[in-house]
Amino acid sequence: MVDLGINVVVLRVKSNMLGEVWNIPVLGKTLEGWVASALNAPYKTIDASPVIDIADKLMSAVDRSKPVTVVLYCDTPLLTKGTVANAIEKLTAQKLDMLKLQRGCVFKTEYLFGAESLYIQEPSGSGEFEAVTDCEGLSRITDNIRRRILRYHAANGVKIFDFANTHIDCDVVISKGATVEPYNFIKGKTIIKSDAHIMPGNYIENCIIGRGARIDSSRLYDSLVGAGTRVGPFAYLRPNTVVGCDCRIGDFVELKNCVIGDGCKVSHLTYIGDAELGKDCNVGCGVVFANYDGKNKYRSVVGERVFIGSNANIVAPVTVADRAFIAAGSTITSGVPSQALAVARARQTIIPEWKGNMYAPPSGNPQPRAYELVSYSDGIIDGSASADNNNDRGNDGE
């Protein structure tokens, strides 16, 4: 519940090395946002300087009717709710006018209006009050926040095997039973449902990953992946892509602004953009949905249980009806009726007594120089090293 009975002011400070500290993003929030998350109330900000009295600025920023005012610094993102709550409780219980924190303060609001001057503190705090003053400190504090996030998910039943090499933003939601392996960057407002398996080497941003889905070494942006679907390795899902349940999106497949129906297989080396595919379609290797004429984008619609052979081109706008079959190597520029076979390619022609490949090297050319592993080498060296030389090297070691 938000506490509306206190004033909260976050002081914006600058660093000679980092510039505007409050605006530095760390795992889904700015540093100012991390400080604000330790407060249970709305807050205001003030630009502060160590040589300028900020009493007047504070008085104009607070509501005098609220009995307690909390002043914190934007460069202390490790601060927790419990620390702030304990400081307010101590101020009230001991009837103090002001309680100084390592970096920040809590005071009765009336005390502020009686103070003649107030200058900000030097960034000398430690622990939760450690301040971000340079690049090394930023890295150290970022790692601390990252581990807090990982501990939170692990405590909720998410299997995370390597804390040192897993990066999850603060707003990511992961259900109990999901698995996140190392070398993953999970960003933004991503939602990962139970039993999903995020294998090594993914970048996932603002996506929904369905129950039991598996994502392998791929990049996903603003997309939805249905339950039981397998993506990757090396797939690229661009924004506004919806992949249904129990699909297979294989290696080097790129999807953009499209809908892939349940049970579809797009196994490898394919681009689908601005298109809709119905259920249980099979898209062969090297298929391209040509959606752009140099000026405008167009959309293609493919029905259910359609087979698209390898190296076919679907030139939008075009509609392929249910159960149609596109022959390999075809370029489809007009609609295909239901259950029809579409063949759109030149007829093969054989010209006898042709000169063959006139650019081939002469038949007498030697084979390319071989390379072989040599037992005393750490890697591959030129195979021209003779057996005698190898033996000599072995003798030197004796």
* Catalytic positions, written as ranges: 268
- What are the tokens at 41? 């109330």
CA distance 208 to 38: 28
Instruction: Single out the residue of 341, 355, 259, 269 nearest to residue 308, CA to CA.
Output: 341
Whether residue 117 contacts residue 54, with contact meaning beta carbons closer than 8 Å, is answered with no
Whether residue 126 contacts residue 103, with contact meaning beta carbons closer than 8 Å, is answered with no
Cα 21 vs. chain centroid, distance in angstroms? 23
Whether residue 282 contacts residue 261, with contact meaning beta carbons closer than 8 Å, is answered with no
Helix (H) or strand (E) holding 204: strand 203-205
- With tokens 């259920």, the residue in question is 279
CA distance 173 to 80: 20
284 C-beta neighbours (distance < 10 Å), count: 20
How long, in residues, is the chain? 398
CA distance 287 to 49: 60
**Distance set, CA 298 to CA 290, 295, 309, 315, 319 (Å):** 9, 10, 22, 9, 12
Cα 341 vs. chain centroid, distance in angstroms? 41
Q: How is 260-279 classified by DSSP, letter by letter? A: E-TT-EEEEEEEEESEEE-T
The separation between the first and the last C-alpha atoms of the chain, rounded to the nearest angstrom, is: 77
Cα 328 vs. chain centroid, distance in angstroms? 36
